[in-house]
Amino acid sequence: MKNNHNVLTIGDAMITMNPASRGPLRFVSHFERKIGGAELNFAIACARLNLSSTWISRLGKDEFGRHIHNFARGEGINTNNVKLMEGYPTSINFKEINEDGSGRTFYYRHDSPILTLTTEDIRGELFDDVSVIHLTGVYMAIDKKNLEIVYKIIDIAKDKNIPISFDPNIRLKLWDIKDAREAYNTIFPHVDILLTGLDEIELITGISSETDLELFAKKNNISELVIKDGGNGSRLYTGNQWFYQDAFPVKVVDTVGAGDGFDAGYVYSYLHNKTAADKLKFANAVGAFVTTVSGDNEGLPYLEDVENYLSDKKVVER
């Protein structure tokens, strides 16, 4: 049964085509259809953690759009503000995986249906009973006008006293670093919880030392600065002190979606008033689960999975 903690996010989703064989994409003839998208991954993760999860988006009025829409509803996500748009094909990406495990992603998202979302669609009543708003840099990067939508959401959040969590989730295939920095710097002062990778925050701000990160958090009034550092664990700066948590030792199969899962785990912990150390521990556990399964969101755990893992009732072997 869901509790009354309602988390809202906004962003694109797409069909991900995973290659059945390795090597240059031009030689791959078979693919497996999956579903991806940072914000949708986050919404799925929240729903599986028994949070009330609301997703605002636009999909193509086509077979792929219907597939994503049905999938999201099946996960228990509130999709009342996900619309299927005529004349806009649902976005697709194809993954290329090399023999050594490295790879590239090719995006086909020109005229994405998310572009039909306007500031007029962002109405104050959508945010009634919302406990946390989660935003990412992916949505901001898709089109410049999306920034105006984000600003409107921030204004509503201020008006309704709703905390904002933000993951820069930088995508340099969607915009250049100069535009990204300019946009992020307008967002940071309005963020309550910043969830960022260490390399990512250094790329955006040019800083990485704890002293500089402390000054950055204070300058922007960020109450909880969370640094995600993969196998090195995570850390949190809040209340003028740092907290640290080691990563869980798991066999990593695929890291895609781990950051989105971590974000959801942290927001869950924040809403349940966990201690600083327990917030990091819980978020690390959710991220660890994701890495043990191939796919964008297939490894996102249910709440009981995480609780059992943390209480040593069972280990992650999936």
Q: How confident is the model at residue 2 (pLDDT cuts 50, 70, 90)?
A: very low
Identity at 163, one-letter amino acid code:
P
Q: Which domains does the chain have, with CATH numbers?
A: 6-11+38-62+76-83+118-310 (3.40.1190.20)
Q: Tell me the C-alpha distance between 140 and 146, whole Å.
A: 5
H helical segments located in the chain = 38-48, 63-74, 137-142, 145-160, 177-187, 198-205, 210-219, 258-271, 276-291, 303-310
Cβ neighbours around 207 below 10 Å, total? 13
Q: Is residue 147 exposed (0-12), middle (13-18) or buried (19+ Cβ within 10 Å)?
A: middle
From first CA to last CA, the distance across the chain in angstroms is 25
Distances (CA, A) of 67 to 14, 109, 278: 10, 17, 36
With CA atoms as reference, report the closest residue to 317 among 296, 299, 303: 299
Residue range 46-75: mean pLDDT, rounded? 97
Mean pLDDT confidence for 2-28: 89
- Burial environment of residue 24 by CB neighbours within 10 A (0 to 12, 13 to 18, 19 or more): exposed
- pLDDT reported for residue 273: 95
d(CA 318, CA 314): 11
For the stretch 96-152, pLDDT in tens is: 888 877 778 888 988 899 999 999 999 999 999 999 999 999 999 999 999 999 999
Q: Are 209 and 227 in contact (CB under 8 A)?
A: no
Residue 98: predicted pLDDT: 84
Burial class (CB in 10 A: 0-12, 13-18, 19+), 233: middle
For 216, other C-beta atoms within 10 Å of its C-beta total 17
Confidence of residue 231 (pLDDT cuts 50, 70, 90): confident
Read off the pLDDT of residues 22-54 as tens digits, 9 standing for 90 and up: 899 999 999 999 999 999 999 999 999 999 999
Higher pLDDT, residue 253 or 15: 15
- In which band, very low, low, confident or very high, does the pLDDT at 1 lie, cut at 50, 70 and 90? very low
pLDDT value of residue 255: 67
Residue with tokens 């003028």: 240
Summarize pLDDT for 254-270 with one digit per residue, the tens: 667 688 999 999 999 99
| Residue for token pair 């991806």 | 36
Give the tens place of pLDDT for each residue, 172-220. Answer: 888 899 999 999 999 999 999 999 999 999 999 999 999 999 999 999 9
Look at the chain and count its residues: 318
